[in-house]
Amino acid sequence: MLPAAQHVRAVYLGDDGVLAGARPGATFVDCSTIDPDTVRAVADAAAQRDFPLADAPVSGGTGGAQAGTLTFMVGAPAALFERIRPVLLDMGRNVVHCGGTGTGQIAKICNNLLLGISMMGVSEAMALGAALGIDPAVLAGIINTSTGRCWSSETCNPYPGVNDAAPAARGYSGGFAANLMLKDLGLATEAARSARQPVWMGALAQQLYQSMSQQGLGTLDFSACVKLYEARTSA
């Protein structure tokens, strides 16, 4: 699992990369979150050396990794998927065959597009409630037993004091960095451009996470986006 497409290309395709040094019979499973075109290019290069490669990005966060409850979104031919599925089940709870090479990345990009938007929405609602005078813990409890409930409101609520297991309870350390969310939203908006598909809310969320990064908040968990709203309230 590598941070970005350039790292994946370098590690696989470099003169001293893993494809150049792999033993016959090796199978590659890449869990990076990158663009589908890079995955397909690397998979084609691997196939030229008779190495099968599947893309298998994950969802579930650091908590899911520690608990072994990750979801793997796998892009691979059906036979390759069946071969690697038992290995992935040792690390995760859900292993889903999304289709051919690159479709795992498509699923992950769409999931994180929604996640980035939903965290901004939860932060906006929580900040509004706090500004109007309701206890954030009370508001979160109402949301999480009502139609606004989602992962961002329940498992990773951005307000301290709501969920003791969320990054907000430890100063937004750990978790999923805002800079990584910004990267993933960049993947989504670029994919949308190539598909001529509008992602208006995703583009706005991308701008807000970019603002976080510019303010020096990019290494914090992405739920620290609530600080953007708090700064407005205190201004």
Bridge partners of residue 96, in order along the sequence: 73
Catalytic residue selected from 97, 108, 183, 227: 108
Coil, helix or strand at residue 194 = helix
**Does the annotation count 108 as an active-site position?**
yes
Coil, helix or strand at residue 222 = helix
Is-contact 187 32, C-beta < 8 A? no
Handedness of CA 94, 57, 17, 40 (dihedral sign): positive
Structure tokens at 45: 């290069």
The CA distance from 70 to 74, in Å, is 12
The CA distance from 73 to 80, in Å, is 14
User: What beta strand segments (E) does 60-190 contain?
Assistant: 70-75, 92-99
The CA distance from 204 to 120, in Å, is 10
Backbone angles phi, psi at 71, to 5 degrees: -105, 130
Which residues are known to be catalytic? Answer: 108
